[in-house]
Amino acid sequence: MFNLDDVVLECRNIVKHYGNVEALNGVSFELRKNEILGLVGDNGAGKSTLLKIIRGAVQPTSGEILINGKKVEFSSPMDAAEEGIQCVYQDLALVDQMTIVDNFFLGRELREKKLGFIPVLRKKKMENETEQALKQMEFSMDVNKKVSDLSGGQRQAIAVARAVFADPKIVLLDEPTSALSEIAKHEVFKLLKGLKEEHSLIFVTHDLNNTLQLCDRIIILKHGVIEYEGEVTKDLSLEELLSMM
């Protein structure tokens, strides 16, 4: 049994219609402190729609979202960010021709006024903060290196570090390992397992094997409803779980 005080996010009876299409039908679940929850399903299962609702990109037709027991309503990702939710997108949202530090602070550059009125980038402070954020995740690299020169695992680490830098309570990960090699995938898994000491994570994927390697609990979505929810244990049958997808 878990303590209700450990629930950081709760979705209650989430329904989403797109015209006559029912993308989600009464989805209810909770995310607990310091866990990685796997959200698994094939294309069209409703994973992306549910993730968009949690991060405020779309609004549910009906249902409720609670953060630490408090009902919230998001009209934008900014609203979700203010409640401590950050998302790492499948495409990573990185600009290849920019440096790591410039990607890290894209849209939130640190500036100070020189001579009283001329805003100047605080480049050194941005570099130091980027280095510190990566160091906390046990990554060390030249922050003035272009993103285009990084490996897949390094790129993913930058995207995750950028999200975590905002100190969220909840991190959403949208297919974060889909384009990675096995070596890079294991590097990212190690990184994510370390993150759950301070954060709660929802790992969205279509790959059940990845989920069993990484997650504490899994939810299988199919045609907008939850087919299975449970703890990840050695006794779980991969074949049986696959049959539910």
Tokens of 173: 């990960």
Q: Is the pLDDT of residue 177 over 90?
A: no
Report yes or no on 142 lying in a domain: no
Sheet holding 21-32, edge to edge: 21-32, 7-18, 62-67, 70-72
The more confident residue out of 220 and 111 is: 220
Number of domains forming the structure of the chain: 1
Q: Is the pLDDT of residue 243 over 90?
A: no
Check: CB of residue 245 under 8 Å from CB of residue 224: no
Helix-strand-coil split of the chain, %, nearest 5: 30, 30, 35
Q: Please calculate the CA angle 183-184-186 and round it to the nearest 5 degrees.
A: 70
Confidence band, pLDDT 50/70/90 cuts, at residue 181: confident
Report yes or no on 93 lying in a domain: no
Q: Is the pLDDT of residue 109 over 80?
A: no
Report yes or no on 76 lying in a domain: yes
Other residues' Cβ atoms within 10 Å of the Cβ of residue 5: 10
Phi, psi of 43, rounded to the nearest 5 degrees: -60, 135
Report the CATH number at residue 172: 3.40.50.300
Query: Which residues neighbour 236 within 8 Å (Cβ) at sequence distance 6 or greater?
Result: 212, 230
Report yes or no on 207 lying in a domain: yes
Sheet holding 170-174, edge to edge: 85-88, 170-174, 200-205, 36-40, 217-222, 225-231
Q: How many helices (H) and strands (E) does the chain have?
A: 8, 12
User: For all residues of the chain together, what is the average pLDDT?
Assistant: 88
**Which residue range forms the structural domain that includes residue 72?**
4-84+168-242
Q: In this prediction, what percent of the chain has a pLDDT beyond 70?
A: 93
Cα–Cα distances in angstroms (integers) from residue 132 to residues 87, 101, 137, in the given order: 21, 11, 9
Confidence band, pLDDT 50/70/90 cuts, at residue 65: very high
| pLDDT, position 245 | 81
| pLDDT, position 17 | 96
* Count, residues in the chain: 245
Gap between the Cα atoms of 159 and 134, Å rounded: 11
Q: Is the pLDDT of residue 115 over 70?
A: no
CA 74: distance to chain centroid?
A: 17
Report yes or no on 154 lying in a domain: no
Q: Please calculate the CA angle 223-32-12 and round it to the nearest 5 degrees.
A: 45
Confidence band, pLDDT 50/70/90 cuts, at residue 117: low
Residue 212: which region, alpha, beta or left (left: phi > 0; alpha: psi -120 to 50)?
Answer: alpha
Tokens of 77: 């990702």
Q: Please calculate the CA angle 205-37-150 and round it to the nearest 5 degrees.
A: 55
Tokens of 57: 């990109």
Report yes or no on 193 lying in a domain: yes
Report yes or no on 47 lying in a domain: yes
Report yes or no on 183 lying in a domain: yes
Reported as a single tens digit per residue, the pLDDT across 196-237 is 989 999 999 988 988 999 999 999 999 999 999 999 988 888
| pLDDT, position 238 | 81
Whole-structure pTM value: 0.85
Q: Is the pLDDT of residue 178 over 80?
A: no
Reported as a single tens digit per residue, the pLDDT across 121-163 is 778 888 888 888 888 777 788 999 999 998 887 888 888 888 8
Amino acid at 225: V
| pLDDT, position 90 | 72
| pLDDT, position 116 | 62
